[in-house]
Amino acid sequence: MTTTFTVRRAASSAPAAAPLLDPKELPPARLFIGGTFTDTVAPERTERTDVIDPATEEVIARIPDGSAEDVDRAVRAAADAARGGWARLVPKERSEILHAIAGRIAEHADVLVRLEAANTGKPLSVARDDVAGTVDTFRFMAGALRAPTSMAAGEYAEGHLSVVLREPLGVVGVVTPWNYPLLMAAWKLAPILAAGNTVVLKPSEQTPLTTLKFAELVADLLPPGVLNVVTGLGPVVGARLAEHPDVAMIALTGSVGSGKAVARAAAGSLKRVHLELGGKAPVVVLADADVRAVAASLRVAGFWNSGQECGAACRVLVHESLADALVAELAREVAGLVVGDPRAGEEVEVGPLVSKAHFDRVRGYLGRALGAGARAVTGGGALDGPGYFVAPTVLVDVAPGAEITREEVFGPVVTVETFTDEEEAVRRANEGAFGLSASLWTESARRSHALAARLDAGTVWVNSHLVLAGEVPWGGFKGSGYGRDLSLYALDDYSRTKHVMHNQVPQGQDMQGQVPQSQDTQGQDPQGQDTHNQVPHEQVRHDHTPAG
């Protein structure tokens, strides 16, 4: 029998039924440019986007839709700040500012948690984890920027000292998604600022509130223009950021479609592009796996943030000998999930989807999958009442290659498929368009090493899923994009390498340190050829092709 769910809501007479936010706690509904909140270029003609609480479908705020001209203003402010000295601060000074930002976020964690929960529908526990992750990201980058890694200085060509420098890029444009508004902003902002760049950031028009609140909280900590926030729509604000000639790099976390649009727009100015896109994480369960451990992990990793997670454990590939046992255990785990409004208390584990459009999209995937013969052992559809709630769903009898196994549903939906041997498991795990993350479940150390190396994903977990740390990189292959968030690799992504080579041979001395014997032959070899600043023969270009 299919497990059913009801939405837990705050009782109308309970204190928890009070609004998550006092209106005074909302950030200014304006753009943040040059260190201050400001109106759009033409406020009287500016459209505004309603920001909706997805648990209640009520309007929280109305945020202005910025224009291309607003992006131009923000880029000018960011470029001025870059020239004004932010990039020239010594690492210690930038580190102290990033630590101060982390401290300010921690100090205001409560309001940020409630703001994120109201804007996205996240359970309080999820929103709290996001804010804690934001603090940790800034703290890690504050330390990492003081300990850069690079090639050692040395003589790699005789008589010449090479020094490799890491420099800021300049102005970086950032586009962040609606599923983790504050945390994804931190994943971008912390390394970008740590590397000495300045930023113009466009948050999702659906979830801009914590980004604006962040700007409000840290405005006095950063020089004017170092951080700028322009709200608005992707085809306007995002497109202008991607094509702007004075933006050195565009970094986006979002959908594959958005990533392709940004990359196309960026091509005109040959700017760098950093893309963290979608995922469809396979969970490969071998015949010797611990079924209870798999099911317990999937309860969290498959349904965290209502499944609106690019690394979610959403596609289970289980050896046929374990399939029945795993499905039974997984159904038991998922049936215990508490679905509800974040106001209903700390027990809520799964909230609503972020918007009506996304709610309809996920329902469409479920309807087509069930119509094609899949069977829901839990959930299977929307839940009654206000809010964009979909029941936590486990689908079985899913045909190989079905739409719901290939495309990113981005909701509380986990599919279960079976395989017969390891070769088939690896082949099917790698057959999709995405390559962000995967997990492998086995008690064999040999299998874990051998098969993890063959899974085509940027992160492979062994006997766990969706465990992250600031010290290790996050990013994918194939349709999941390129570039790395978190870790020292992010600092590398948001900086450029410069090689400076110093000729150390004194004038009037040859490469072997011998001073010529006579004025007549100084600077010449016995055949009369010039030896000043001599370069080894094998390093001279012999073609006439301009260097790339």
**Confidence category of residue 532, pLDDT binned at 50, 70, 90:** very low
> The tokens of 390 are what?
């979909």
Residue 542 has pLDDT above 50, yes or no: no
Q: Which two tokens mark 128?
A: 């709290």
For the cut 80, the answer to whether the pLDDT of residue 152 exceeds it is yes
pLDDT (average), residues 378-406:
96
CB atoms near residue 107 (< 10 Å)? 12
Q: How far apart are CA 425 and CA 472, in angstroms?
A: 26
Residue showing tokens 């260097």: 547
Q: Return the DSSP state at 169.
A: -
Q: What percent of the chain has pLDDT over 90?
A: 86
The pLDDT confidence band at residue 517, using thresholds 50, 70 and 90, is: low
Coil, helix or strand for 501? strand
Given a cut of 60, whether residue 538 has pLDDT beyond it is no
Backbone angles phi, psi at 166, to 5 degrees: -110, 125
Query: pLDDT over 70 for what percent of the chain?
Result: 91
Picking from 171, 202, 168, the residue whose alpha carbon sits closest to that of residue 184 is 202
Region 135-143: what's the mean pLDDT? Answer: 98
Q: Which of 205-219, 299-313, 533-547 has the lowest mean pLDDT?
A: 533-547
At 464 the pLDDT is 98
Answer yes or no: is pLDDT of 510 > 90.
no
Q: What is the mean pLDDT of residues 175-186?
A: 98
Pairing mode of beta strands 58-64, 281-285? unpaired
- Pinpoint the alpha helices (H) of 84-208: 91-107, 109-120, 124-144, 181-194
310 in catalytic set: yes
Catalytic residue among 276, 309, 333, 408: 276
State the Cα–Cα distance between residues 412 and 417, nearest whole angstrom: 17
CA atoms within a 13 Å half-sphere pointing along the CA-CB vector of 37: 14
Does pLDDT of 13 surpass 90?
no
Per-residue pLDDT at 46 = 78
What is the residue whose two structure tokens read 């498959």? Answer: 302
Q: Where are the alpha helices (DSSP H) in 386-444?
A: 403-406, 422-429
Of 384, 341, 347, 350, which is closest to residue 10 (Cα–Cα)?
341
Cα(410)–Cα(425) distance, integer angstroms: 23
pLDDT score of 527 more than 80 = no
Lowest mean pLDDT across 15-19, 127-131, 253-257? 15-19
What is the Cα–Cα distance from 226 to 67, expressed in whole angstroms? 20
pLDDT for res 203:
98
What's the rounded mean pLDDT across residues 518-541?
49
User: Per-residue pLDDT tens for 277-299?
Assistant: 999 999 999 999 999 999 999 99
- Residues 91-97, mean pLDDT to the nearest whole number: 97
- Can you give the pLDDT at residue 436? 98
- Please, are residues 464 and 356 in contact by the beta-carbon 8 Å criterion? no
Mean pLDDT score, 102-115: 98
pLDDT at residue number 509:
74
Please state which of the ranges 82-86, 344-348, 524-528 shows the lowest mean pLDDT: 524-528
Query: What type of residue sits at position 149?
Result: T
Helix (H) or strand (E) holding 97: helix 91-107
Q: What per-residue confidence (pLDDT) applies to 545?
A: 41
So what's the pLDDT on residue 42? 80
Active site includes 314? Answer: no
Average pLDDT over residues 431-460: 97
Higher pLDDT, 497 or 548: 497
Nearest to 96 by CA among 129, 55, 131, 145: 145
User: What is the tens place of the pLDDT at every residue in 483-502?
Assistant: 999 999 999 999 999 999 99
Q: Are strands 495-503 and 160-168 parallel, antiparallel or unpaired?
A: antiparallel
Greater model confidence, 535 or 399: 399
Residue 83 has pLDDT above 60, yes or no: yes
How confident is the model over 308-344, as pLDDT tens digits? 999 999 999 999 999 999 999 999 999 999 999 999 9
Per-residue pLDDT for 148 more than 90?
no
The reported pLDDT for the residue numbered 198 is: 98
Q: Which residue has the tokens 């300010």?
A: 104
CA distance 226 to 199: 6
Binned at pLDDT 50, 70 and 90, residue 1 comes out as very low
The pLDDT of residue 123: 98
Q: Lowest mean pLDDT of 40-44, 108-112, 513-517, name the range.
A: 513-517
CA nearest to 48, candidates 62, 31, 27: 62
**Average pLDDT over the chain, rounded to whole?**
92
3-state secondary structure of 499: strand
Q: Are strands 375-378 and 481-482 parallel, antiparallel or unpaired?
A: unpaired
Q: Which residue has the tokens 């001025």?
A: 80
Among the options 116, 310, 333, 417, which is catalytic?
A: 310
